[in-house]
Amino acid sequence: MKRALPGFGLSLGFTLVYLSLLVLLPLSGLVFKSSALDLGQFWDIATGERALASYRVSFGASLLAAAINAFFGLIVAWVLVRYPFPGRRFVDSLVDLPFALPTAVAGITLATLYADTGWIGRQLEPLGLKVAFTPLGIVVALTFIGLPFVVRTLQPVIEDIEPEVEEAAATLGATRWQTFRRVLLPGIFPALLTGFTLAFSRAIGEYGSVIFIAGNMPLISEITPLLIISKLEQYDVIGATALACVMLFISFALLLAVNGLQWWAANRHHGKERTSL
């Protein structure tokens, strides 16, 4: 049977080849390399004390940073879309800065700012808060690099909300909070999840900015990518690939889960079958 949209075979073939070359091939190479280890060895490396601590730091800090970004990114996106104010375009372009800035530069800048002697660190010190060279510093760096993902994902969706929907809710007696909670948030939620996922994945893979601010103390503020690098520096390539495989697996599982959640959020509002009348 002929399809209404031509070029399906060709474009699907292209997509598969492209994805294979770019994503699948390097990743399978990684898995292949780690198969030089037998299961017991693999397990020992993957669950070493230092490795386990680094997973906790990596995934914990990433999750926290993504959550912070989801919350504040939503506010930033909302303000940028909804309220015209002088300098809005300028502020809008500021959001992209973490994309463009070399991550090392960001890391060094943040470390300088948040160190005991830095502008911000000096204010926090008397409060007993140490940011630079602690896990908290990692969260700060990951929040910095993740912000644009949330804001840029949300902006078009917020632009799409008709102001009438809010007005309708108001005439029906809903308070601002009820309008947000019941009317606006459900519409934004799938995009918020996407932004969260993007920020989260970016944070897991981040290396450059973190190593400057983290302090990199084993068991406390050492992220998995750094552990991989240090293994490589000791010519322990196999050990590094084993850790990389674990990261790959956890990331993939998490992304799959979030994707499923997203699919559920996007589809629960459209009924089972789509009939047009």
Residues of this chain that interact with another protein (CB under 8 A) are: 162, 164-165, 167-175, 178, 182-183, 186-187, 269-271, 274-277
Smallest distance from the beta carbon of 148 to another protein, in angstroms? 27
Q: Determine the residue type at 268.
A: R
CB closer to another protein, 20 vs 175: 175
CB closer to another protein, 76 vs 169: 169
Smallest distance from the beta carbon of 208 to another protein, in angstroms? 40
Concatenated DSSP letters for 63-132? HHHHHHHHHHHHHHHHHHHH---TTHHHHHHHTTHHHHS-HHHHHHHHHHHHSTTSHHHHHHGGGT---T
Smallest distance from the beta carbon of 143 to another protein, in angstroms? 29
Smallest distance from the beta carbon of 81 to another protein, in angstroms? 18
CB closer to another protein, 186 vs 205: 186
CB closer to another protein, 82 vs 122: 82
Smallest distance from the beta carbon of 193 to another protein, in angstroms? 14
Q: Which tokens sit at 205?
A: 């893979």
Contact in structure between 243 and 46 (CB atoms under 8 Å): yes
Smallest distance from the beta carbon of 190 to another protein, in angstroms? 10
CB closer to another protein, 38 vs 164: 164
In this structure, how many other beta carbons lie within 10 angstroms of the beta carbon of residue 126? 7
220: helix, coil or strand?
Answer: coil
For the packed helices 185-205 and 237-267, what is the interaxial angle rounded to 10 degrees?
180
CA distance 237 to 264: 40
Residues 6+ apart with CB under 8 A from 140: 110, 114, 131, 213
CB closer to another protein, 174 vs 220: 174
SS (H, E, C) 143-211: HHHHHHHHHHHHHHHHHHCCHHHHHHHHHCCCCHHHHHHHHHHHHHHHHHHHHHHHHHHHHHHCCHHHH
